Amino acid sequence: MAGTEPKPELLLDIRKLRIEATVFPPGEAPKNIVLVHDVSLSLKRGKVLGLIGESGAGKSTIGLSAMGYGRGGVRITGGEVVLNGRDIMKAGKRGIRRLRGKEVCYVAQSAAAAFNPAHKLMDQVIEASLEHGTGTRAQAEKRAIELFRKLSLPDPENIGERYPHQVSGGQLQRVMTAMALCSEPDLIVFDEPTTALDVTTQIDVLAAIKDAIRDTGVAALYITHDLAVVAQVSDEIMVLRHGRLVEWGGTQQIIKEPRQEYTNALVSVHEITHDEQSPGEAPFLSVKNVTAAYGTGGPKVLKDVSVDIYPGQTLAVVGESGSGKSTLARAITGLLPPEKGTVTFDGRPLANRLADRPKEDLRQLQMIYQMADVAMNPRQTVGTIIGRPLEFYFNMRGAERDRRIAELLDKIEMGKGFSDRYPAELSGGQKQRVCIARSLAAKPKLIICDEVTSALDPLVANGILKLLLGLQKEEQVAYLFITHDLATVKSIADSIAVMYRGEVVRYGPKSKVLAPPFDDYTDLLLSSVPEMEIGWLEKAIKGRRMESAGN
Amino acid sequence: MLNIRRIPIPALVGLVLTALFLFAAIFAPLIAPYGNGQIVGSVWEPASADYLLGTDNLGRDLLSRMIYGARITIFIAVMATALSFSLGAILGFTAAVLGGWFDTLMSRFVDLLMAIPTLIFGLVVLSVLPSTLVTLIMVMGLLDSTRVYRLSRAVAVDINVMDFVEAAKLRGEGTIWIIFREILPNALSPLISELGLRFIYAVLFLSALSFLGLGVQPPDADWGGMVKENKDGIVFGIPAALIPAAAIAALAISVNLVADWILNRTTSLKGGRG
């Protein structure tokens, strides 16, 4: 259809879209729930619209409806999806098949899971073009190589010969963008393309996507939950919540002068004030020159790491994936006995192996995990989960235990009624709160928080952070806060350790670590955190001194 | 909480039949019209008002024999299944949690046992040992436990790497707590469906052994043994051998229907509350 008739200026026009799904609650009759309530949107040729909202807001569902697709039994039950001047809902199966991969393409969140591991990248990139007959194989490959170059992939001529497992996550996400662009579609749906990546890699991918969109003049729906990211690439932003439109406007307007309360909450989500505490006289836990590796003779995951934790304060450990931050936690807890070095606690060395530590030491060190839903036994009620440490460490039983459980539930801002619920009956934020209560129950001196907010929506994560800070004041507990999110670090840390490839490259009080002069890696890390500001991306890319490790 | 109208029809059929078999097994001496070994008529009489299912190859009442047979069959199968489950599951979980040499040793030993066909292994062992109820149950239970071991180890290895198990280890919990309180409740649904299957295999295995003359010894008889006693009648068009055979099939199917239903109910993570 290219060139035969003038294309309408309005590329995509979704009118009063209604999407429903049938749920099957056990023991009840199946019932319909409405996921998207009569949402309308329109997109002009060559423009980028950002769809933003927390999980369950219906943003992916709306995005996929642009290609007439309903995921997992979801049905489009009302409204029109007009693409290039015709309603694709009326096109039938064949019509939709003709348009997918040719007029609309899709970039999935997890490229590693979306590529077929058994085929070479090039075959997958040009598949859609060949399928739709938009060119010969040689033409398609030529275009793919050009796109690889445009997306600044290394060795663009030959990267197509590799298999998906032979390139890094960030590169794979760019190859996927090339795949979407290869058949020269009018519209691309980006579904959280950078969410699973490290900040330092995210910035590269984001820049590549932005350039590619500009150069090819393709329109895009950009779905994400991170407002700062979407501000970099989109012309307009649409805020969604519970399948309803909250606010829709130009990027500038949304991030500078949001009109709705919910949007405002999203914009100001990272604003937590926390005054840095000066380190006390003596640390109660110090890690000295710890070196650790998985298996004997394997590569060293931790190299000569030393950090101190002061009572009632927060040490944040930052770094990208593979930098050894979680391994540090495992070494401190004794799950991975270090090869060299010691961990001292209250002035005496802590046994290296978990099995050699007395119960009292175990009680003092508690841990909260990233994925709250697998950190709790799904067959135990909240009461049992929180109550077990009480029984185990303090020998509390019966009414005394129940009273303390109620107290703890109160502390995490959940009611007493939750005590006989199962984890599956809680929301993501509530699950994490229960995990916090479980570790608090032991009255520890130190809680290790391993990426506790990274699986949560921004607003929920914000609530958790505030809760953690409040509890720190009340209980005088120290945190070892492992994260890759610098915005979190800025808001809660007292001191910071920056890790890179198993080494601590920068360590000290927050104000010192976050003040220039920076070493190269800290500079890269700091400059990669998206800021809620138009034009940040270009500035950040220009100012960089070091390539990210993902390249 | 349990509403009879919510139970699906297949499960209901299974429940009724299983209950019937269990009832017959438990109250055998009370409901059987005649004694187990009592000769009441001539050989292979057809069904009549006196002998509802006719008589067998020695002139004993077939219905009474069936009822006593249910008792023996179900008793042995239940005991053997219970043995194989406790043994297999505990060893399997322990192997998964402890790992290391214990796991390697157990797993290779189980591989060794499984490499020999169960029936042949059973035949060899039983022809050497005296044929008593206890040996029969022990042999059946031991042989079956290898399968249970395999399944429970596989399930437990998956659960053992979950964060909540790590959290329990960090808390300082002992192996016993981890096995019975953290892993077992989460491994229960695959194990329960396996329980149904294993019970059926035990019934079939016992029937096969008895049919070959190595199982329950006369004058007592389980259903497999009764098929053997009456099998010659088939040539003369006498259906006495088919009745115990049909009972074996009915028991197998009904227990499976119940196991399926239980499996469906226990997979819910919300305590069956929806």
Q: What is the pLDDT of residues B227-271, one digit of tens each?
A: 988 888 888 888 888 889 999 999 999 998 988 888 777 766 554
Question: B185 touching A, CB under 8 A?
Answer: yes
Inter-chain residue contact B170 with A367, CB threshold 8 Å: yes
Of the listed ranges A447-451, A455-459, B80-84, the one predicted with least confidence: A455-459
B173 interaction partners in chain A (CB closer than 8 Å)? 392
Cβ of residue B4 closer than 8 Å to a chain A Cβ: no
Using a CB-CB cut-off of 8 Å, the residues of chain A touching B6 are 27
Average pLDDT, chain A: 84
Across the interface, do B169 and A335 touch by the CB < 8 Å criterion?
Answer: yes
Tokens encoding A520: 């190269």
| Alpha carbon distance B131, A145 (integer Å) | 77
The stretch B114-128 carries a mean pLDDT of: 88
The tens digit of pLDDT for each residue in A100-142 reads: 888 888 888 877 788 888 899 999 998 888 888 878 888 899 9
Q: Name which of A25, A367, A379 is nearest B274 (Cβ-Cβ).
A: A25
Alpha-carbon separation of residue B192 from A222, B16, B182, B230 (angstroms):
47, 19, 17, 35
- Cβ of A333 and B270 within 8 Å? no
| Neighbour count for residue A542 (Cβ, 10 Å) | 8
Span A533-546, average pLDDT? 76
Query: Does residue A548 surpass a pLDDT of 70?
Result: no
Predicted pLDDT of residue A4:
47
Q: What confidence score (pLDDT) does residue A269 get? A: 67
Which of B163, B169, B269 is nearest residue A371 as measured by Cβ atoms? Answer: B163
A42/A270: higher pLDDT: A42
Say how far apart CA A371 and CA A526 lie, in whole Å. 26
Separation between Cα atoms, residue B93 and residue B89, nearest integer Å: 6
Of B6, B164, B268, nearest to A376 by CB-CB distance is B164
Q: pLDDT at residue B274 above 50? A: no
CB contact set of B162 (below 8 Å; sequence gap of 6+)? A374
pLDDT tens-digit readout, A20-52: 887 776 556 677 888 888 888 888 888 899 998
Contact between chains at B167 and A333 (C-beta distance less than 8 A): no
How many helices and strands (H and E) does chain A possess? 22, 20
| Local confidence band at B149 (pLDDT 50, 70, 90 cut-offs) | very high
What mean pLDDT is predicted for residues A386-396?
Answer: 92
Q: pLDDT category, B33, cuts 50, 70, 90?
A: confident
- Chain A segment 106-145 residues within 8 A of B by beta carbon are none
* Rg, C-alpha atoms of chain A: 26
pLDDT band at A389 (very low <50, low <70, confident <90, very high): very high
Mean pLDDT within B220-229:
87
Confidence at A478, pLDDT banded by 50, 70, 90: very high
Please tell me whether the peptide bond between B219 and the residue prior to it is cis, using omega within 30 degrees of 0.
Answer: yes
For A239, phi then psi, to 5°, come to -100, 125
pLDDT of A270 reads: 63
Given a cut of 70, whether residue A410 has pLDDT beyond it is yes
pLDDT-derived band of residue A76, with 50, 70 and 90 as boundaries? Answer: confident
Q: Which single residue is written with the structure tokens 């399997």?
A: B92
CA distance to partner chain A, nearest, from residue B71 (Å): 36
pLDDT for A296 beyond 80: no
Q: How far apart are the first and last CA of chain A?
A: 38
Q: Which residue of B has its CA nearest to A30?
A: B274
Q: Which residues in chain A touch residue B271, judged by CB atoms under 8 angstroms apart?
A: 381, 422
Q: Say how far residue A47 (Cα) sits from the centre of its chain.
A: 25
- Which pLDDT score, from 0 to 100, does residue B150 have? 93
Sign, CA dihedral A413-A418-A423-A424, equals negative
Distance from CA of B236 to the nearest CA of A (A): 53
B173/A388 Cα distance (integer angstroms): 10
pLDDT at A550 over 60: no
Q: Do B164 and A366 touch (CB under 8 A)?
A: no
What percent of chain A has a predicted confidence (pLDDT) above 90? 14
pLDDT for the residue A546: 63
Round to whole Å and give the CA distance between A227 and A531: 9
Give tens-digit pLDDT for B12-27.
999 999 999 999 889 9
How many residue pairs from chains A and B have C-beta atoms closer than 8 A? 61
B166 inside 8 A of chain A by CB = yes
B172 CB near a chain A CB, below 8 Å? Answer: yes
List of chain A residues whose C-beta atoms are within 8 Å of the C-beta of residue B164: 374-377
pLDDT band at B3 (very low <50, low <70, confident <90, very high): low
User: How many whole angstroms separate alpha carbon A393 and alpha carbon B180?
Assistant: 19
Share of chain B above pLDDT 70, in %: 95
> A279 by DSSP, 3-state: which?
coil
Six-digit token string for A7: 């294309």
Q: Cβ B270–A362 below 8 Å, yes or no?
A: no
Which residues, at least 6 apart from A539, have a Cβ–Cβ distance to it below 8 Å?
A: none
- Taking the Cβ of residue B174 and every Cβ of chain A, the question of whether any pair is shorter than 8 Å is answered with no
Rounded to a whole number of angstroms, the CA Rg of chain B reads 22
pLDDT category at B183 given cuts 50, 70, 90 is very high
pTM of the entire structure? 0.79
Nearest to B271 among A362, A422, A442 (CB): A422
- Percentage of chain A lying above the pLDDT 70 cut: 95
Provide the pLDDT for residue B251. Answer: 93
